[in-house]
Amino acid sequence: MTDTRLPSLHLPPPRLDWNAAGWPESRDYGDVYFSKADALGESSHVFLAGNALPARFAALSAHDFVILELGFGSGLNFLNTWRLWRQTAPRGARLHYVSCELHPLSRDELERLHAQWPELASESAALRAQYPEHSAGLHQLRLGAAEHPLWLTLLYGDAHAMLTQLCCPSAPFVVDALFLDGFSPKRNPALWHTELLQQIARFCTPATTLATYSVAASVRQVLEQSGFNVEKAPGFAHKRHMLRGEYRGVAEASTRTPRGTLAIVGGGLAGCSSAFALAESGWRVTLFERNAALASAASGNPQGILHFRPVKRQAPDSHFNLYAYLHATRHYQALAHAVGLRWHPCGHLQLATTAALRQRFAAILEESVYPSALLHYLDRDAASAKAGVPLQYPALFFPDSGWLSPPELCTLYAAHPNITLATLSEVHAFRQDRSGWRLHTNAAAQAAQQHFDRIILANSSEAALFPELGHLPFISNRGQVDVYSASADSTVHTIVCGQSYLVPGDNVQCLGGSYYLGDDSPAAVSARQHWHLEQLRDACPTLGQALATRRPLQARRASRCITPDRLPLVGALDAERYPNLYLNLAHGSHGLTRTPLCAAWLTSQINATPPPCLPLLGELLNPARYPQ
């Protein structure tokens, strides 16, 4: 019988001994994390100079540079590389840093360590602000200023298993430099064995370099067997030698994609997030929206919430939804810091309003799949204290959840200097030619046919009007959100979600949760408003009564597009018949949660750069699962 239980997300924490000087030693491996003499100096000498990074960074133009590291540890090599990147890389170059770690340090442990390197204070603080200290798997962080962007991809788990999953046709990327910095081969032979290093070689080309502090004969032998030429070089401080080398084997990795022009059809969350991700990666994007303003349809609610549904048993979308949620929390936090997005990480209470829900929540907690930092149980009194109002039910609490304004988010996305916004521009058709795609729009004659290297369709169910997509099984339903003015008697500290949900807010508060097929008559609208209030009154009589005393400012209704398996359509439509034509569609009511990860996944596919999730998750979104 197939085991349908979810794999545990828990990570084995490192067991550390701290000496009097404040340096850690691994109790599991009996080894130090870095040189006791001068850790920062060793990092610069062995890994930065050993891979000739100062000169290589300075010589870059508007290109990508990818580093793969074994052993993230304290993050010292990453922070030191980031500092060098800011100092030497030209504007427009992009750094991708991929690092493996089986025993991630906690945020508090990192802070204790990082205090030893005040020269890296700004980089270390930015890292810790997004640092994922729980949940095994792949986590990608966008860091750095717009002129020197970088993406940190952390692989939490067994290095060989993680890199094996990464090395597949749907997530091809080339590595330019290798940092081999695990614990010593005697202490941790798993990071130096032949199978792992041969797997790493599959990401390499003849331009790939490597550096490591270890000169053990076994390490040299395995590297040479894996296709690398290595040589001894002067070591750091008391170490006589180190190793550096270059790949000379057969290159399996694909080449990167040169940037060019790209058209995106649809100005909602899917289209705007895709435009932003690709613009950040160097593409010149034109964003077509048929209405006068962005986020005019399903993405137009004044408040949107971030959420995912925890499960006990595996389902096709369970892990995807989880990692989309984790990615989105980091993404919005980063945008709040970088461009002033008004992100409200107030947390989310999912109330157990029925016996079936209470039973399901108990089963989820009994399995201990999810770390407590991700979600935890609160009894009715604790849930009420968290919300600041008396609630009738216990709840699961998601501390990293929150809300924002989708229209504001779309506006911030579209403000990127590499994006040209074309509103009141309806795309009627697209035609392939020898060098790309030509769009036909309702614009003035001189601009009615525009040429682009690539196209992304992100216009929800309207994409079904294009004959090329006629085979896709789009399902369209509608949802209603009632918008109320905020006042003192409806103040709540967190998102409260029972059968309906209420969002905190200073100016307005959204109450929603209904789905329907299409009846927008006044009587039906009023009935749904009454249902929302009744569900809120059941969960919290105080809030239900407060909103019942005033009329909604608006009953906002819009269509949402989904697929039969409830997963979005993200990726190439058909690479053979329609090369360079991509989709980002069918997010339903999960657009705020899913679109950051989907945009990043699509960008990595187009650019051949490190992906934001494991390919087995990204492949679930492949439009080819619905063949023509």
Beta carbons within 8 Å of 106's beta carbon, 6+ residues apart: 13, 133
Residue 39 domain flag: yes
**Please, are residues 504 and 491 in contact by the beta-carbon 8 Å criterion?**
yes
Helix (H) or strand (E) holding 527: helix 522-539
Residue 341 domain flag: no
Which pLDDT band holds residue 62 (cuts at 50, 70, 90)?
confident
Can you state the angle between helices 194-201 and 159-166, rounded to 10 degrees? 30
Half-sphere exposure of 472 (CA within 13 A, CB side): 32
Question: DSSP character for 469?
Answer: G
pLDDT in tens, 395-452: 999 999 999 999 999 999 999 999 999 999 999 999 998 889 999 988 654 455 689 9
> Quick count: other Cβ atoms within 10 Å of Cβ 400?
18
pLDDT in tens, 322-363: 999 999 999 999 999 999 999 999 999 999 999 999 999 999
- Quote the number of domains for the chain: 3
**Please, are residues 293 and 411 in contact by the beta-carbon 8 Å criterion?**
no
**What do you get for the CA distance between the two ends of the chain, in Å?**
33
From residue 496, alpha-carbon distances to 192, 291, 359, 396, 402 in Å are 49, 33, 20, 11, 11
From residue 430, alpha-carbon distances to 181, 265, 268, 519 in Å are 50, 11, 20, 34
Beta carbons within 8 Å of 392's beta carbon, 6+ residues apart: 351, 380, 538, 539, 540, 541
Which pLDDT band holds residue 6 (cuts at 50, 70, 90)?
low
- CATH number, domain of 223, equals 3.40.50.150
pLDDT in tens, 89-143: 999 899 999 999 999 999 999 999 999 999 999 999 999 999 998 889 999 999 9
CA distance linking residue 108 with residue 115, whole number of Å: 11
Based on the domain organization, do 290 and 174 belong to the same domain? Answer: no
Question: DSSP character for 39?
Answer: H
Based on the domain organization, do 520 and 557 belong to the same domain? Answer: yes
Structure tokens at 102: 């089986």
- CATH number, domain of 280, equals 3.50.50.60
Q: Can you give the residue range of the structural domain that contains 497?
A: 348-399+475-562
**Please, are residues 283 and 262 in contact by the beta-carbon 8 Å criterion?**
yes
Half-sphere exposure of 201 (CA within 13 A, CB side): 22
Residue 204 domain flag: yes
- Using only C-alpha atoms, the chain has a radius of gyration, in whole angstroms, of 26
Based on the domain organization, do 127 and 94 belong to the same domain? Answer: yes
Based on the domain organization, do 436 and 583 belong to the same domain? Answer: yes
Based on the domain organization, do 214 and 354 belong to the same domain? Answer: no
Whole-prediction pTM: 0.95
